[in-house]
Amino acid sequence: MTEKADETSAAGANRFGVYLAVLQLVFTLGWTVYVVYLPKLAAQVGIAPSTVLLILMLDQAIFTVTDTAMGIAADRLAPIVGRLGVFVGAVTALSCAAFVALPFVAGNGPVALPVFIALIVTWVVTSSALRAPPLTLLGKYGARPKLPFLSALAMLGYGLAGAVSPYLGVVLRDQDPRIPFAISSGVLFLVALSLSRVERGMAQSVSVPAKVAADTKSLGQVPLLFIASMVILALGYQFHFSVNSAPFFLRFAKPADLQWLMPVFWIGFNIAMFPASVVTKRHGGLIVMGAAGLLGALAVLGAEQAGSLNMLIVTQFIAGAAWGCMLMSAVSAALAIGETGAEGKVVGLVFSALALATFARIAAVAGGLQKLPEYEPLLRWAPVACWAVAGCGLLVLAASRLRARQARTV
């Protein structure tokens, strides 16, 4: 009977991991649709092209705050089965309504500018409900040994969206924006709407142990160092992939080839997460994050020094694999750190760290730093420095935690 219950629990957790992958895939593709069409829609309401980057910076600044806020809200709602799903579904309905309205409002011209900006802010704020809150349920219902694998499943959707985005951008470029906005919103709403049903199914198949009340006032030293390291790792990813990768490839390829070459990073991302989850299960997320950071630094260094397209493809694949290991183990570590009922808060902080790093990258591009000769070496070597420094710091942190644990057992 016990074995049968364990099998049922594992199957339910795996289905939920697949559900989260689909949710992240649809949400991230919706973000791609938004980024592709934003310049065109902004022009219709009289926003200058140079201001589009400021809007994207505003989006990430909002995410930096709301991701953590939504995670805290998820911690408070999660103890009552079904309530978190209802909350996410209701907020997603508002988010999708604002998203669908964007191209229609933009068609009214400059007079619609205030409404257009209000819709963007509404969509961004409510979209945070689809980031940390669903992952909170992994920490609540997923058995701790399975968290790395479930985290890999959840992040698979993010990686698949990253691989598809270059093709999607090419396909959508000349299409009427109202159609993809409506389709992506409809699919996302249907997926989010089923969260309550999925949540109830997990609650019925999983026996949830009682948890100690979370300390909502202070995270403590280890989580704060973990989040600081996550910000640095995310900065390394942003500057490597979004700023440096295309110029690296253009040394050996034509601009038209980028849509086929850029996904190499995400192929490595998706493939590496699952074997890395086995290592994370055995040794912990901090160790895997640290080791992956050092591996990623070496891969970026190799990309910088690559003398051929084939060599660059290999190093990009390894860099993507390293980032996949970092992100998967970060989610797993966040769920483990917040296991006393603060899963949403810590996972929310991870997403806030990602948003803060994206904000910094967009700000650097908006400031034209990549075009200034005195800053070019800084941007080129920043990913190596970020991943190496954060990797070393995380390994030291993991070693100190291991020594403390051994001292308590003596």
Separation between Cα atoms, residue 267 and residue 316, nearest integer Å: 10
Q: What is the mean pLDDT of residues 248-277?
A: 93
Question: What pLDDT score does 206 carry?
Answer: 58
Do the Cβ atoms of 77 and 129 come closer than 8 Å? no
Question: What pLDDT score does 78 carry?
Answer: 77
Alpha helices in 142-262 (DSSP H): 147-172, 178-193, 195-205, 221-237, 245-250, 258-261
Separation between Cα atoms, residue 92 and residue 381, nearest integer Å: 39
pLDDT in tens, 98-152: 999 999 999 999 999 999 999 999 999 999 988 888 888 877 776 677 888 888 9
CA angle at residue 33 from 29 to 37, to 5 degrees?
165
Region of residue 164 (left: phi > 0; alpha: psi -120 to 50; beta: else) = alpha
Do the Cβ atoms of 9 and 205 come closer than 8 Å? yes
pLDDT of 4 higher than 50 = no
Question: What pLDDT score does 235 carry?
Answer: 96
The conformation of residue 212, written as its DSSP 8-state character, comes to P
Q: What is the mean pLDDT of residues 289-309?
A: 95
Residue 371 vs residues 55, 164, 296, 358: alpha-carbon distances, Å = 21, 28, 25, 19
More confident residue, 409 or 216: 409
Using DSSP's 3-state secondary structure scheme, residue 7 falls into: helix
Question: What pLDDT score does 211 carry?
Answer: 45
Question: What pLDDT score does 213 carry?
Answer: 39
pLDDT of 311 higher than 60 = yes
Q: What is the mean pLDDT of residues 363-378?
A: 82
- Residue 3 burial (CB < 10 Å; 0-12/13-18/19+)? exposed
pLDDT of 89 higher than 70 = yes
Question: What pLDDT score does 289 carry?
Answer: 94
Using DSSP's 3-state secondary structure scheme, residue 376 falls into: helix
**Which residues, in sequence order, are CB contacts of 399 under 8 Å at separation 6+?**
none
Q: What is the mean pLDDT of residues 13-22?
A: 82
The percent of residues above 90 in pLDDT, for the chain, comes to: 55
Question: What pLDDT score does 359 carry?
Answer: 95
410 pLDDT band, cuts 50/70/90, is low
Separation between Cα atoms, residue 24 and residue 136, nearest integer Å: 14
Torsion sign over Cα 277, 131, 316, 376: negative
**Longest distance between any two alpha carbons in the chain, whole Å:** 72
Q: What is the mean pLDDT of residues 339-355?
A: 88
337 pLDDT band, cuts 50/70/90, is confident
Say if pTM beats, i.e. exceeds, 0.85.
Answer: yes
Separation between Cα atoms, residue 380 and residue 394, nearest integer Å: 23
> H helices then E strands: how many in the chain?
16, 0
Domains of the chain (ranges; CATH) run: 1-213 (1.20.1250.20), 215-337+367-410 (1.20.1250)
Question: What pLDDT score does 216 carry?
Answer: 38
pLDDT of 212 higher than 50 = no
Separation between Cα atoms, residue 130 and residue 178, nearest integer Å: 22
Separation between Cα atoms, residue 215 and residue 277, nearest integer Å: 28
pLDDT of 3 higher than 70 = no
Question: What pLDDT score does 375 carry?
Answer: 77
Question: What pLDDT score does 94 carry?
Answer: 94
**Of 202, 204, 196, which is closest to residue 85 (Cα–Cα)?**
196
**Which residues, in sequence order, are CB contacts of 346 under 8 Å at separation 6+?**
71, 219, 223, 227, 334, 335, 337, 338
Question: What pLDDT score does 7 carry?
Answer: 52
**Of the ranges 56-65, 295-304, 371-380, which one carries the lowest mean pLDDT score?**
371-380
Question: What pLDDT score does 138 carry?
Answer: 79
Helix, strand, coil % over all residues of the chain, rounded to 5: 85, 0, 15
pLDDT in tens, 160-199: 999 988 888 778 877 889 999 999 999 999 988 888 777 7
Highest averaged pLDDT of the listed ranges 142-146, 269-273, 280-284, 394-398:
269-273
Separation between Cα atoms, residue 339 and residue 404, nearest integer Å: 19
Question: What pLDDT score does 409 carry?
Answer: 63
CA angle at residue 357 from 355 to 359, to 5 degrees?
70
For residue 379, how far is the Cα from the chain centroid? 22
Amino acid at 355: A
pLDDT of 243 higher than 80 = yes
Amino acid at 36: V
